[in-house]
Amino acid sequence: MSSAAVEARTDGGIHRRVEHVMGMPISLAMRGRYAATAEADRAWQSVIDQLREVDQVFSTYGEDSVINRLDRGELALEQCPAEVAEVLQLGREAEQLSDGAFSIMLPSASGRRRLDPSGVVKGWALQRASQFLAALHDTDYCLSGGGDIVCHTANLSRPEWRIGIEHPHNPKALIAVVPIRSGAIATSGTAHRAAHLIDPRTGRGPSGIASVSVIEASLTWADIDATAAYVHGQDAVEWLQARPIRSALLVWADGTTTRLPADLNT
């Protein structure tokens, strides 16, 4: 009951669905022509099915997942599903663009670097799965996987989706609201998992920064850029300014904020 302090918008006929995949909640809000129909149910099922398949291939938790067998050398890249090469390529691009702040080869307890593309997979998989929803004519959707979100508005006469950004120091409060018609927002930080993001160059977590939210056209890159910016710590603003983002919100360890582009602060 205590968590029910938020009221969903009831105007506009928003229909919601939730499932758990990849160890995180997948939430969907829909409105418009097909939002409440069997077509929407089928599209939603396709989203969930595809995310489950992705999880089976890319999970670093499952001993026998494709990605772990690839890491151990039991599989060659050519023997893996085509998506594996696509994700690894994204990971390499991200590593280059972030000066190494983002990497899919992460230090592990054993000291050996381990193949872990999780940082690419989530945003990429959600963006890809959202295509099933985009196929519903005249229907808007807002798809969230553990707090990273793809928004789409099919008819511009309907309002933007309103996305609340969680306060990194208090997960029950919001620090900002962002209206997004079509686009994606990803937030990186440590609010829910203690220091799960580490700098691949040092093996330590960044300091000085509490969370980074990035708004871009695609969740694939919003997610990568939010993670890389967070790992950049104090240098996050400078690094993000060179990225093709639409907007960003940085929350510092002391609770102060910086918005990008810079004129949003005035």
Residues 183-212 that bind other proteins (CB under 8 A): 183, 185-193, 196, 211
In angstroms, what is the minimal distance from the CB of 56 to other proteins? 17
β-strand partners of 252: 209
The answer to whether residues 76 and 105 touch, using CB atoms and an 8 Å cutoff, is no
Closest CA to 12 of 160, 183, 130: 160
User: Rounded CA gap, 256 and 160, in Å?
Assistant: 27
Q: How far is residue 185 from each of residues 18, 35, 105, 210, measured CA to CA in Å?
A: 19, 22, 25, 17
Does 148 interact with other proteins (rule: CB under 8 A)?
Answer: yes
Q: Which of 52, 86, 89, 261 binds other proteins (CB under 8 A)?
A: 261
Does 50 interact with other proteins (rule: CB under 8 A)?
Answer: no
Amino acid letter, 156: L
Q: Which of 77, 78, 111, 157 binds other proteins (CB under 8 A)?
A: 157
In angstroms, what is the minimal distance from the CB of 90 to other proteins? 17
Does 241 interact with other proteins (rule: CB under 8 A)?
Answer: no
**Structure tokens belonging to residue 121:** 């997979």
Q: Which of 7, 64, 78, 254 binds other proteins (CB under 8 A)?
A: 7
In angstroms, what is the minimal distance from the CB of 33 to other proteins? 12
Q: Give the 3-state secondary structure of residue 125.
A: helix
In angstroms, what is the minimal distance from the CB of 115 to other proteins? 20
Residues 6+ apart with CB under 8 A from 131: none
Q: Which of 134, 198, 237, 253 binds other proteins (CB under 8 A)?
A: 134
Q: How far is residue 103 from each of residues 23, 58, 92, 218, 232, measured CA to CA in Å?
A: 22, 15, 7, 19, 13
What part of residues 103-132 is at the interface with other proteins (CB under 8 A)?
122, 131
Q: Which is nearer to other proteins, 85 or 264 (CB)?
A: 264
User: Rounded CA gap, 92 and 87, in Å?
Assistant: 9
Q: Which is nearer to other proteins, 66 or 180 (CB)?
A: 180
Which listed range, 38-46, 108-116, 177-185, 234-242, lies at the site for other proteins (CB under 8 A)? 177-185
Q: Which of 165, 229, 231, 236 binds other proteins (CB under 8 A)?
A: 165
User: Rounded CA gap, 136 and 140, in Å?
Assistant: 8
